[in-house]
Amino acid sequence: MSRPLILVTNDDGITAPGIKALIEVASEFGDLIVVAPDSAQSGMGHAVTLNNPIRLHQVALFDNIPAYECTGTPVDCVKLAKNILLKDRKPDLCVSGINHGSNASINIIYSGTMSAAMEASLENIPSIGFSLLDYSYQANFEPGKPFIRQLIDYVLKNGMEHGTLWNVNIPKLPEGQIKGIKMCRQADASWEEEFVEAFDPRGQKYYWMTGNFVNKDKGEDTDINALAGGYVSVVPSMHDLTNYKALHQLQAAEAFQKLNGHVSKAP
């Protein structure tokens, strides 16, 4: 029986230490192919490159593992991998990361790492995005590796439901101090942005985004709470954004029915 085929990507770029750490763990489980951006692409969300050409170059960065750097976004990487490099064999798993910095809570929607994982899940490839709560380039990925190992093993053995991807975040703790894994919901937190206002050398004003992550969601079942307690958080996530609760409420709302009826009868 052939080994599983695992697609590896990220958003920090193919030379980031985080993807190297992920490759080290994933290569225990299968044959890898790495397709990742040629530069840092944090905050790219689910952006795709429509108005420009994209380049793809093979690079010899990892021993005996085919690897390609791509000029596009993280989502572009997954699309190119699937449509150009892996035409003949669908990967059994996609892993994205390890991101340098948290993608817990609402960060999932801004994150190139998680958007790449979501793109793979759209292609019915079981998919996990991994992030470490440490933005440093020199972050220590070792303490999280045993947990990454077990989650990859679990998904390869048990599969993943259609339309699902896992958002995995790892607390910044020394070796042996991570308490375990918790399955969570996404905390309802947000960013309170500030913009630095300054002037460029030509005297033109510019803004530069900065901000503070604020969590007002005190639920014990959230990813933020699990991480604060020293656990790896796993949020099974999805690309169906329908708010079914609101849908059912609106379908039952008298005011909306009137509107709907009224509009339906319009000339």
| Residue placing its CB nearer to a copy of itself in the complex, 4 or 31 | 4
85 is a contact residue toward a copy of itself (CB under 8 A) = no
Structure tokens belonging to residue 106: 């609402």
100 is a contact residue toward a copy of itself (CB under 8 A) = no
- Residue 1 CB, nearest distance to a copy of itself (Å)? 21
| Residue placing its CB nearer to a copy of itself in the complex, 51 or 138 | 51
| Residue placing its CB nearer to a copy of itself in the complex, 107 or 133 | 107
- Residue 190 CB, nearest distance to a copy of itself (Å)? 5
| Residue placing its CB nearer to a copy of itself in the complex, 11 or 92 | 11
179 is a contact residue toward a copy of itself (CB under 8 A) = yes
* Residue 255 to residue 263: CA distance in whole angstroms: 12
| Residue placing its CB nearer to a copy of itself in the complex, 64 or 242 | 242
82 is a contact residue toward a copy of itself (CB under 8 A) = yes
Structure tokens belonging to residue 214: 């604020």
* Residue 18 to residue 27: CA distance in whole angstroms: 14
Beta strand 127-132 with 180-183 is: unpaired
| Residue placing its CB nearer to a copy of itself in the complex, 228 or 259 | 259
From 163, 167, 83, 87, select the one nearest 125 (Cα to Cα).
Answer: 163
108-123: b or e for each residue (b if 16 or more CB lie within 10 Å)?
bebbbbbbbbbbbbbb
Give, as ranges, the residues between 187 and 246 that touch a copy of itself (CB under 8 A): 188, 190, 193-195, 197-198, 200, 204-209, 232, 234-246
Structure tokens belonging to residue 138: 């020199």
- Residue 21 CB, nearest distance to a copy of itself (Å)? 18
Residue of the chain from 138, 158, 174, 212 that contacts a copy of itself (CB under 8 A) = 158
84 is a contact residue toward a copy of itself (CB under 8 A) = yes
Tell me how crowded residue 69 is: count the other CB atoms within 10 A of its CB.
Answer: 20
* Residue 144 to residue 124: CA distance in whole angstroms: 26
Q: Decide if 9 contacts 77 (C-beta within 8 A).
A: yes
With contacts defined by CB under 8 A, name the span among 18-26, 89-97, 125-133, 153-161 that binds a copy of itself: 153-161
Cα–Cα distances (Å) from 32 to 29, 37, 142, in that order, read 9, 16, 20
Residues paired with residue 95 on neighbouring β-strands, in sequence order: 8, 128
Structure tokens belonging to residue 210: 């900065």
Give, as ranges, the residues between 21 and 80 that touch a copy of itself (CB under 8 A): 40, 42-56, 75-76, 79-80
- Residue 237 CB, nearest distance to a copy of itself (Å)? 4
182 is a contact residue toward a copy of itself (CB under 8 A) = yes
